[in-house]
Structure 1
Amino acid sequence: MSQNKPVSISRRALMTAFAVLPMAGIAMRAKAAEKLGFGELYKSFGPLGLEFSDKVKQLSGKHVAINGFMAPPLKAEAAFFVLTEIPMSLCPFCSSDADWPDNIMVVYLSAKQTFVQFNAPIVARGVLEFGSWTDPETGFISQLRLRDASFRTA
């Protein structure tokens, strides 16, 4: 026959547990997005131009976080923007992916957010995609994208 004994928890242990819970949530969110830097996007210029790094290939389809700057959007109600390595006062979109600069990435937002000034540092988080893709709505061609993304000021 088993006997149920009441478990005694001290007030201090209970307070400590409640204090740690929010920090555990932050740690779990931080682990969910792998850090990626602009210097890690490509490994070299190959015979066909830029070659994606092994890290980009490994992180494709996964949540990543990358620091950068928001290039001015083409229109205020856009659901996407271009993330750049350095502040740019003009949108750096090119006419084709053959000219794609190695220090930009398109960020497709999961929900509308208010855009920030081009020189304000931000952190963008989303699901990484790579390879040439043409946006059917805008006709823009990209090599690197974050999908279902969000951003915050850094």
Structure 2
Amino acid sequence: MDRRNFVTSFAIAGAALSFAGVTTPARAAVPDLRFRDMYLRGKELSPQAIALQGQRIEMTGYMAPPLKPEIDFFVLTKTPMATCPFCDDAADWPNDIVLSYATTPLEFVRFSSLIRVEGTFDTGIKTDANTGFVSFVRLLDVSYRRL
């Protein structure tokens, strides 16, 4: 049987199994965490956020303008920010932020573009050795897509 016939036969068999009610396992749903559900009051994490520690999650927000063009991290914010919060003393840094780290360089997304981020949720006060940033909530090994 040549490759084309094999692929066609495989597709027909898959359709027959699907029709018969047999399905392939779907990708497990990744939990979603909203900014409004992250804290109870002040900086006290909600039970939902605490339960997500160490898990892959998704969040929706905006990428704050980076400090430099080549980035491997960004700050995910609840609302769009037109200026870099570290470059303008007058800028109001929002209470709802998540420091987001990638393992490879990232492409900056316009500050007003809504993005969906997936990463491993990490909490606790940590200081980044390279930047000196102090964070309480982080996403590690992130990927994102524009919405």
Q: Residue 81 of structure 1: SS of its match in structure 2? A: strand
Q: Does 1:142 find its partner at 2:135?
A: yes
Check conservation: 2:82, 2:111, Cα contact below 8 A.
yes
Q: Does 1:43 find its partner at 2:36?
A: no
Q: Which residue of 2 aligns with 1:70?
A: 63
Q: Give, in whole Å, the separation in 1 of the partners of 2:71 and 2:133.
A: 13
RMSD: 2.9
Of 115, 118, 124, the residue aligned with 1:125 is: 118
Q: CA deviation at 1:130?
A: 0.9
> Within 5 Å, which residues of 2 pair with 1:100-111?
101-111=94-104
Q: Which residue of 2 aligns with 1:16?
A: 15
Q: Residue 111 of structure 1: SS of its match in structure 2? A: strand
What number of residue pairs does the alignment pair up? 131
Q: CA deviation at 1:113?
A: 2.4
Q: Does 1:86 find its partner at 2:89?
A: no
Q: Does 1:56 find its partner at 2:55?
A: no
Q: Residue 60 of structure 1: SS of its match in structure 2? A: coil
Q: Give, in whole Å, the separation in 2 of the partners of 1:64 and 1:84.
A: 16
The 1:151–1:13 alpha-carbon spacing in structure 2 relative to 1, beyond 3 Å, is same
Q: Give, in whole Å, the separation in 1 of the partners of 2:75 and 2:24.
A: 29
What do the CA deviations read for 1:2-55 (whole angstroms, capped 9, x no partner)? xxxxxxxx98861526989xxx88940xx352111000110113xxxx201111
Q: Give, in whole Å, the separation in 2 of the partners of 1:19 and 1:72.
A: 46
Q: Give, in whole Å, the separation in 1 of the partners of 2:58 and 2:144.
A: 9
The 1:136–1:19 alpha-carbon spacing in structure 2 relative to 1, beyond 3 Å, is farther
Q: Normalized against structure 1, the TM-score is what?
A: 0.74
Q: Give, in whole Å, the separation in 1 of the partners of 2:71 and 2:11.
A: 50
Of 103, 106, 109, the residue aligned with 1:113 is: 106
Q: Normalized against structure 2, the TM-score is what?
A: 0.77
**Quick one: which amino acid aligns to residue 149 of structure 1?**
V
Q: Residue 110 of structure 1: SS of its match in structure 2? A: strand
